[in-house]
Amino acid sequence: MAVLHKLTLAQAEAAAEYNKQRFEVEGAASVPYIFQVWAKLPGDLFAWTSTTTAQAVSEYQRVIGATPDGKWGPASDRAEGKYLMQLTQGDYIDAIVVDQMPVGSDILHEGMRLARQWRGKPLPTHAEIEAWDYIVQRESGGWVGRPNYTADIIPKYKEGRVDPGARFSNPKNRKSWYLFSDDVRNSRAVSVQGVRSSAVDVGQLLGSNWVTYCPIGRRGIGKAVPALAAMDAYCDGRYNGVLNAAEFYDLDHCPSDRRSYYSERALAIGCKPGEGY
């Protein structure tokens, strides 16, 4: 089980000093080792997929909140210091940076527990975790920042693909998803780019719903814990809980007294289970 541990100030200071000294001696080549050593501290919740030094630098910068340009400098040093301080304060809301939270995984379930704690709600029950797994699988497969499939045909996003042979919303093009996320954050996806839906991230919430249900608004797009918190709040607000929201996918088996106003309205306008849960 992945469990998050709060760093002591001494650990954070030691991490920063270790990184600084190794970087001064080895330069950018040291960053892959730094990443592998210190990424373990928050509970092994990071994906290590980089192979070259430049990729490793970029990946580590992405984790600590620096510009992921593959070039280490004073700005990256400052971002790393801020990031390590977050860990000393037990602040994992922004600190957890992952591409995917696979359904049924410790990463996803730990994120769910953190989301509930952040919202000041009781920890999820086993049944609620199963319901969350079900919705996440149907909506995004657990991919953080995943754009709605309707973005696939928009020229801007098609041209920005890393893998031209795969659809824009395919995880093979996840390094390009920021194009869509940035547009949703700035309300440009629908009004400017012409995409039919601004739904994005793990729970595929519309841009307007991020404002309503995410504690930090659209800034939470692309961040694991805020995305789960927004999804959980949405389920509470629209369906009186994630259990009812999950049952909306199988309305034929959902008793009428468990259906919400929104699910009944969806049925009335011909919405199939799973569409706009």
Instruction: Please check the confidence at residue 246 and state whether its pLDDT lies above 60.
Output: yes
On whether residue 222 sits in a domain, the answer given is yes
Q: Domain range spanning residue 236?
A: 106-240
Most confident of the following: 77-81, 100-104, 174-178: 174-178
Instruction: Dump pLDDT digits (tens) for 156-214.
Output: 999 999 999 999 999 999 989 999 999 999 988 887 788 888 999 999 999 999 999 99
On whether residue 270 sits in a domain, the answer given is no
User: Considering all CA atoms of the chain, what is the largest pairwise distance in Å, rounded to the nearest integer?
Assistant: 67
**CA pair distance 97, 47, nearest whole angstrom:** 8
141 & 50 share domain: no
31 & 125 share domain: no
User: Closest Cα to residue 97, out of 85, 109, 107, 112?
Assistant: 107
130 & 19 share domain: no
On whether residue 276 sits in a domain, the answer given is no
Q: How many Cβ atoms from other residues are within 10 Å of residue 124's Cβ?
A: 18
169 near 181, Cβ under 8 Å?
no
196 near 184, Cβ under 8 Å?
no
On whether residue 95 sits in a domain, the answer given is no
On whether residue 55 sits in a domain, the answer given is yes
- 120-129, 130-139, 215-224, 263-272 — which is least confidently predicted? 263-272
112 & 82 share domain: no
Total domains in the chain come to 2
39 & 161 share domain: no
What does the block give as tokens for 58? 């970029």
**CA pair distance 62, 56, nearest whole angstrom:** 10
200 near 211, Cβ under 8 Å?
no
- 18-32, 90-104, 157-171, 177-191 — which is least confidently predicted? 18-32
Looking at every residue in the chain, the average pLDDT score rounds to 76
72 & 112 share domain: no
- 80-84, 89-93, 174-178 — which is least confidently predicted? 89-93
